[in-house]
């Protein structure tokens, strides 16, 4: 029996898991969860994810949540010569993958997340974006991207000259961001721009992002 | 040659790395970084950690940053001579370790860190704590701890009935949190309290905590 992902395709964290499943070529079923009706806070979903968020993930008796943990599990379970997203066979390579996974989590996401929320989610629920929040976080994001620019001028991908889960983990929020008026902060940094073009043109990325809504 | 940790031992994220080294029985050297003098933002340290934060970690030619990535590296590198903190030999067990590492990172940390910062760090620097911010995060942390309470009523430790990096990763902020007026959040949740007593009584944890003063 295949694995199940519970969550909406437009959700960035659900997309993170789908991207990983597509990259490793796994069979899976997507069970939609309706956020607008609060389905994620109902008992059936809370039994899968007690935090009441999406996604959740089911593999037989194993129930997981937290998209970054699920992505690690998928990468490990389906590891093959063609899909080694974690490089756990090499102490130094896996260390670099882990460093840039944490950078995504603790440096990139806190800066880009609020911009995404203000630019995409707030208008969708009928509010007015807070331009101060956007500007403050754009400034933060630019400093982070300067570090990425320096890094990617030395290596082709974030963890080294090999594609890894660290690169993939950036796709969901960056996909939305590149469809916003702020894409210039990526496009003005040539190595970051080239890296984004290489990552986003991967078949797995094109497949998953094509199911996500287009632009701000 | 042994490994080096760059950072003040009382810093939460530096302590996360030191506690892991202690648990694994590794030899290491701590190179203090003078926060007050802004040493973490100076070029020699920026070459180790381009984000200008502590800790950084050096093992021969390998330079790492992001404490959670460093901790994984340490747990992996010393696995043959120390405890198995990651359970990477078992797909289900490693999934549970990763899940609770992410819960610490994405749910627990964002709620507990502002409380520690407002209650302990801000007054130490002569400022006034933001009580609204504290109250909001105390409420958030309470909800997170309810999930922990329910979970720890079923297993002895977070990832299962075995101690893992997921438990250890909670040490630094929880240690300081216990010096705030909000320690009762743990006391009123018997399984969380028992888990914390167990964790904080481990020799490696006591040794790390000895360098983390809580009195002003």
**Contact residues, chain A, for B98 at CB < 8 Å:** 66, 68-69, 72-73
Report whether pLDDT(B214) > 90.
Answer: no
Per-residue pLDDT averaged across A115-124, rounded? 94
User: For residue A185, what is the domain's CATH number?
Assistant: 1.20.1050.10
Instruction: Please report which confidence band the pLDDT of residue A2 belongs to, taking 50, 70 and 90 as the band edges.
Output: confident
Report whether pLDDT(B93) > 70.
Answer: yes
**What pLDDT score was predicted for residue A106?**
98
Same domain, B27 and B100: no
Instruction: Give the bridge partners for A29, in sequence order.
Output: A4
DSSP B32-53: ---TTTTGGGSHHHHHH-TT--
Residue of chain B with shortest Cα separation from A149: B50
Residue that finishes a domain, picked among A78, A112, A131: A78
User: Is residue B130 one of the residues assigned to a domain?
Assistant: yes
Residue predicted with more confidence, A5 or A82: A5
Q: Which residue has the tokens 């969708």?
A: A124
Same domain, A134 and A202: yes
Report whether pLDDT(B83) > 50.
Answer: yes
Query: How far, in Å, CA of A120 to CA of A99, rounded?
Result: 29
Instruction: Please report which confidence band the pLDDT of residue A81 belongs to, taking 50, 70 and 90 as the band edges.
Output: confident
Query: How far, in Å, CA of B167 to CA of B187, rounded?
Result: 18
**What pLDDT score was predicted for residue B81?**
87
Query: Hey, are the CB atoms on B105 and A105 less than 8 Å from each other?
Result: yes
Q: What percent of chain B has pLDDT over 90?
A: 95
Compute the Cα dihedral for A66, A103, A192, A112 and give only its sign: positive
User: Is residue B215 one of the residues assigned to a domain?
Assistant: no
Same domain, B156 and B69: no
- Specify burial of residue A138 (Cβ count, 10 A radius: 0-12, 13-18, 19+): middle
Same domain, A160 and A139: yes
User: For residue B168, what is the domain's CATH number?
Assistant: 1.20.1050.10
Overall domain count for chain A: 2
**Contact residues, chain A, for B92 at CB < 8 Å:** 62
Q: What is the pLDDT of residues A13-54, one digit of tens each?
A: 999 999 999 999 999 999 999 999 999 999 999 999 999 999
Q: What percent of chain A has pLDDT over 90?
A: 94
Report whether pLDDT(A214) > 80.
Answer: no
| Mean pLDDT taken over chain B | 96
Query: Hey, are the CB atoms on B150 and A73 less than 8 Å from each other?
Result: no
For A180-215, give one letter per residue: b (16+ CB within 10 A) or e: bebbebbeebebbbebbeebeebebbeebbeebeee
Residue that finishes a domain, picked among A45, A78, A111: A78
**What pLDDT score was predicted for residue A216?**
43
Query: Hey, are the CB atoms on A106 and B69 less than 8 Å from each other?
Result: no
Task: Report the residue from B62, B94, B103 with minimal CB separation from A66.
Answer: B103
C-beta atoms surrounding A1 within 10 Å:
8
Q: What percent of chain A has pLDDT over 70?
A: 99
Residue that finishes a domain, picked among B16, B49, B77: B77
Domain membership of residue B30 as a residue range: 3-77
Domain membership of residue A133 as a residue range: 91-208
**What pLDDT score was predicted for residue A1?**
67
Same domain, A116 and A145: yes
Q: Checking phi first, is residue B65 left (phi over 0); if not, alpha (psi -120 to 50) or beta?
A: beta
Instruction: Please report which confidence band the pLDDT of residue A82 belongs to, taking 50, 70 and 90 as the band edges.
Output: confident
Same domain, A66 and A112: no
Same domain, A120 and A57: no
Q: What is the pLDDT of residues A141-169, one digit of tens each?
A: 999 999 999 999 999 999 999 999 999 99
Query: Residues 6 or more apart from A62 whose CB is under 8 A from it?
Result: B92, B95
Query: How far, in Å, CA of A146 to CA of A116, rounded?
Result: 19
Residue that finishes a domain, picked among A78, A112, A133: A78
Query: How far, in Å, CA of B121 to CA of B106, rounded?
Result: 22
C-beta atoms surrounding A147 within 10 Å:
18
Same domain, B108 and B17: no
Same domain, A99 and A204: yes
Report whether pLDDT(A109) > 50.
Answer: yes
CB A173 within 8 A of CB A196: no
From the list A195, A113, A115, A114, the residue with the least C-alpha distance to A154 is: A195
**Contact residues, chain A, for B88 at CB < 8 Å:** 76, 88
CB B15 within 8 A of CB B172: yes
User: For residue A51, what is the domain's CATH number?
Assistant: 3.40.30.10
Query: Residues 6 or more apart from A109 whose CB is under 8 A from it?
Result: A173
pTM for this one? 0.97
Same domain, A128 and A194: yes
């Amino acid at each position: 029996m295949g694995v199940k992902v519970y969550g909406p395709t437009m959700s960035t964290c659900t997309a993170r898991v789908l991207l990983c499943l597509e990259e490793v070529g796994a069979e899976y079923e997507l069970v939609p969860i309706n956020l607008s009706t609060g389905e994620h806070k109902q008992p059936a979903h809370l039994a899968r994810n007690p935090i009441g968020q999406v996604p959740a993930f089911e593999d037989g008796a194993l129930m997981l949540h937290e998209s970054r943990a699920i992505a690690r599990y998928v990468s490990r379970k389906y590891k093959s010569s063609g899909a080694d997203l974690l490089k756990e066979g090499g102490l130094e390579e896996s260390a670099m993958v882990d460093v840039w996974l944490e950078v995504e989590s603790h440096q990139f996401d806190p800066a880009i997340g609020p911009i995404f929320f203000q630019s995409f989610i707030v208008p969708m629920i009928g509010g007015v974006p807070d331009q101060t929040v956007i500007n403050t976080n754009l400034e933060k994001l630019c400093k982070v991207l300067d570090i990425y620019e320096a890094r990617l001028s030395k290596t082709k991908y974030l963890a080294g000259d090999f594609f890894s889960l660290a690169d993939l983990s950036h796709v969901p929020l960056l996909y939305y961001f590149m469809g916003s008026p702020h894409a210039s902060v990526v496009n003005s940094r040539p190595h970051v721009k080239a890296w984004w073009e290489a990552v986003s043109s991967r078949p797995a990325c094109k497949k998953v992002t094509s199911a996500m809504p287009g632009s701000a | 040659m042994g490994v080096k940790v760059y950072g003040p031992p009382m810093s939460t994220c530096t302590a996360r790395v030191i506690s892991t080294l202690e648990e694994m029985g590794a030899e290491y050297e701590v190179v203090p970084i003078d926060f007050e003098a802004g040493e973490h933002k100076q070029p020699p340290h920026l070459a180790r950690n381009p984000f200008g934060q502590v800790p950084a970690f050096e093992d021969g030619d390998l330079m790492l940053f992001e404490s959670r990535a460093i901790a994984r590296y340490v747990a992996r590198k010393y696995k043959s001579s120390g405890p198995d903190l990651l359970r990477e030999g078992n797909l289900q067990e490693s999934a549970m370790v990763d899940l609770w590492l992410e819960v610490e990172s994405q749910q627990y940390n964002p709620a507990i860190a502002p409380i520690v910062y407002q209650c302990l760090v801000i007054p130490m620097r002569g400022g006034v704590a933001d009580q609204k911010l504290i109250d909001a995060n105390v409420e958030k942390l309470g909800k997170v701890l309810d999930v922990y309470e329910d979970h720890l009523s079923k297993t002895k430790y977070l990832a299962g009935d075995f101690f893992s990096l997921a438990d250890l990763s909670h040490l630094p902020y929880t240690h300081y949190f216990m010096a705030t007026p909000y320690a009762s959040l743990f006391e009123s949740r018997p399984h969380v309290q028992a888990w914390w007593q167990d964790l904080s009584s481990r020799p490696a944890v006591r040794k790390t905590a000895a360098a983390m003063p809580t009195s002003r």
